[in-house]
Chain A
Amino acid sequence: MRRSKINIPAMIFLIIGAIFILFPLYMAIMVSLKNPQELGQSILGWPSKIFWSNFPNAMAATHYWQAFTNSFIITACAVILTILTNSMVAYAIARNMHKRFFRYIYFYFFAAMFVPFPIIMLPLVRQMSHIGLANQWGLIILYVVYGISFNVFVYVGYLRSIPMELEEAALVDGASRWRIFWQIIFPLLAPINATIGIITAIWAWNDFLLPLVMLGDPGQFTLPLQQYALQGQYSTNYSEAFASYLMALLPMLLIYVIAQKWIINGVTKGAIK
């Protein structure tokens, strides 16, 4: 069979593509490992002497651990709360799609997916400030709430494939819907919870616009926002700037390397449901 042979044009295409993907990261690493003098002579070459101190310098300058902690708290809370609340709403909707009320809620969430953020953004800043939530806690609420549209869509698709018999048996035994959901259905949702968790985590960790408009206190800045806020501080100390960029990318990259298969499967499931 011809198909069992190695496809040479595909290989060549992939190698060129991979170089294109990896080149900016290679450059970022090279820049971050040089001292400014050497950088002036050669950007892409291997450093003659590795200049590690760019990393601790950038860490101190950008208050890395503080921003990291902020990003981590926001992302972790957003993921946990999203999974708990959104799956629950989706369950109630999925089991009642025949009732008009729940069907309308479903369409309401779906339609909201097409509302662009800019129209919410301008009044939102005032509304959140007014109730004292223009901070990281408010941000967590927004991630949980804004994710609903897409997440409910994914959850409902999956929930409808879970047979009702299980629940009905439990119902006959006198269990409440609340208990049925948490004890029987929620554990069954594990694969899709993972999907939603991964998508939410990538979104909340990397998001820039929402923290930009919501966070006023520099002590609460997330990693991307910190990169933006401190742009001018490096002036032209690009080595330090790149050390800081790499450290901002690193946590997600590490998780990707460890959980790559999961992430890809999760995203696939989320999008084709």
Chain B
Amino acid sequence: MKLLRRYTMYLLMTVPIVALFFYFHTLPALTGMYYSFTNWSGFGSIQWVGLKNFIGLFQDPQVMHSYLFTLEFAAVTTILVNVISLLIALALNAKIFLSKTFKAIFFMPYVLGTLVVSYIFNYLFSNVIPTIATQFHWTALTQNLLGTQYAWLGIVIVACWQGAAFNTILYLAGLQTIPEDVYEAAMIDGASAWRRFWGVTFPLIAPFFTINMVLAAKTYLQVFDQIVALTNGGPGNLTQSVSFLIYTNGFSGGELAYQSANAVVFLLLLLIVALVQLRFLQRREVQL
């Protein structure tokens, strides 16, 4: 009797929330998958079209380009953010003055809204840099970076400026778990700073590296806010990310079903990336 009551209470604690989760998260996802096999435009009648949308996707240069851009952007940004934040974390962990102030500065971007930060950078790229470049006759920089074929670099810069904060926090936490005597032992062996890093430090913070790589890749594959505020996908469709394309074309232009199919493909891509990363990165981890 008591056992049953105990179990009932657990069920009462979980089932309603699971039901809500299913209704607000999984149900729309399933509806989206259903749309992807139809020709529905958002208005009017709905018809089953089988795999037509999926076949169309793979022949659509715009869609293919958005995947190319998204993958390239995510790869570059994930690597850059991790390298930069690891360097910052190492520097913060070293013996320095004003360590608290520096920490406060480097973590601050984490609490700032991406959209507004991107608007600030937009002005930097479109007005400040060209004005300064014109004054000093740096011809290469007189153009708005966001209007050139290097617009993606602008997005990478903003993503790094903001994204490094979170990863730095994690790396620093990882570095602080390393006991001092491990270093001392390595120093007595006469290992150089470079060898100490790769031989001692890095293997010990590898779990943090894994988390950071997986989380960063997931975030940057879904890049949206920066694109809206910086380039709106341009010039041309050079900086249209998959999320951006699904949003803009899915809600207008009668492509609801077609972009739902795109979203299904995107889901598969994210799953594959996550699985590959976990397998590949976890193999290298060393536990202390």
Complex contact A18–B267 (CB within 8 A) = no
Measured CA separation A114–B266 after assembly (Å): 11
**Residue A242 at the chain B interface, CB threshold 8 Å:** yes
Contacts of A264 in B (CB 8 A): 103, 107, 169
Measured CA separation A167–B222 after assembly (Å): 42
**Residue B264 at the chain A interface, CB threshold 8 Å:** yes
| Chain B, 82-114, CB within 8 A of any chain A CB | 87-88, 90-92, 94-97, 102-114
Nearest CB in chain B: distance from A194 CB, A: 15
Complex contact B173–A272 (CB within 8 A) = yes
Nearest CB in chain A: distance from B175 CB, A: 12
Complex contact A249–B112 (CB within 8 A) = yes
Contacts of B112 in A (CB 8 A): 206, 249, 252-253
The 8 A CB mask of A37-58 against B (1 = contact, 0 = none) is 0000001100000000000000
The 8 A CB mask of A195-208 against B (1 = contact, 0 = none) is 00000001001101
Complex contact A206–B105 (CB within 8 A) = no
Complex contact A27–B120 (CB within 8 A) = yes
**Residue A164 at the chain B interface, CB threshold 8 Å:** no
Contacts of B17 in A (CB 8 A): 85-86, 88-89, 148
**Residue B1 at the chain A interface, CB threshold 8 Å:** no
Nearest CB in chain B: distance from A85 CB, A: 6
| Chain A, 66-122, CB within 8 A of any chain B CB | 85-86, 88-89, 91-93, 95-96, 102, 105, 108-109, 112, 114-122
**Residue A256 at the chain B interface, CB threshold 8 Å:** yes
**Residue A177 at the chain B interface, CB threshold 8 Å:** yes
**Residue A145 at the chain B interface, CB threshold 8 Å:** yes
Complex contact A115–B222 (CB within 8 A) = no
Interface SS of B by simple majority: helix
Complex contact A253–B33 (CB within 8 A) = no
Contacts of B9 in A (CB 8 A): 176-178
Checking A5, A95, A176, A223 against B5 with a beta-carbon cut-off of 8 angstroms, the contacting residue is A176
Contacts of A18 in B (CB 8 A): 102, 105-106
Complex contact B263–A116 (CB within 8 A) = yes
**Residue B128 at the chain A interface, CB threshold 8 Å:** yes
The 8 A CB mask of B1-34 against A (1 = contact, 0 = none) is 0000110011111100110110011111101110
Checking A10, A93, A248, A271 against B14 with a beta-carbon cut-off of 8 angstroms, the contacting residue is A93
Checking B113, B259, B274 against A248 with a beta-carbon cut-off of 8 angstroms, the contacting residue is B113
Complex contact B13–A92 (CB within 8 A) = yes
Q: A6-B96, A227-B115, A264-B103 are in contact. Are A115 and B29 (CB under 8 A)?
A: yes
Contacts of A20 in B (CB 8 A): 161
Measured CA separation A125–B251 after assembly (Å): 10
Measured CA separation A125–B211 after assembly (Å): 32
Q: Which residue of A lies closest to B250 (CB)?
A: A122
The 8 A CB mask of A144-180 against B (1 = contact, 0 = none) is 0110100000000000000000000001000011100
Complex contact B183–A3 (CB within 8 A) = yes
Nearest CB in chain B: distance from A17 CB, A: 6
Q: Which residue of A lies closest to B162 (CB)?
A: A21
Contacts of A96 in B (CB 8 A): 10
Q: A22-B105, A206-B112, A242-B123 are in contact. Are A121 and B24 (CB under 8 A)?
A: no
**Residue A260 at the chain B interface, CB threshold 8 Å:** yes
Complex contact A120–B29 (CB within 8 A) = yes
Checking B106, B114, B170 against A206 with a beta-carbon cut-off of 8 angstroms, the contacting residue is B114
Nearest CB in chain A: distance from B57 CB, A: 14
Nearest CB in chain A: distance from B210 CB, A: 11
Complex contact B211–A271 (CB within 8 A) = yes
- Which of B47-55, B147-155, B239-247 binds A? B239-247
A contacts, CB < 8 Å to B: 2-7, 10-11, 13-14, 17-18, 20-22, 24-25, 27-28, 31, 43-44, 85-86, 88-89, 91-93, 95-96, 102, 105, 108-109, 112, 114-125, 127, 141-142, 145-146, 148, 171, 176-178, 181, 202, 205-206, 208-209, 213, 223-224, 227-228, 231, 238, 241-242, 245, 248-249, 252-253, 255-257, 260, 263-264, 267-268, 271-272
Q: 9 closest A-B pairs (Cβ-Cβ)?
A: A206-B113, A119-B263, A123-B31, A10-B91, A7-B94, A177-B9, A10-B94, A92-B13, A118-B246
B contacts, CB < 8 Å to A: 5-6, 9-14, 17-18, 20-21, 24-29, 31-33, 35, 87-88, 90-92, 94-97, 102-117, 119-121, 123-124, 127-128, 131-132, 161, 166, 169-170, 172-174, 183, 187, 208, 211, 215, 218, 221-222, 224-225, 228-229, 242-243, 246-247, 250-251, 256, 259-260, 262-264, 266-267, 270-271, 274
11 sample A-B contacts, Cβ–Cβ < 8 Å, listed by A number: A24-B121, A27-B124, A105-B14, A117-B222, A120-B28, A120-B29, A123-B31, A142-B24, A228-B229, A256-B108, A267-B166
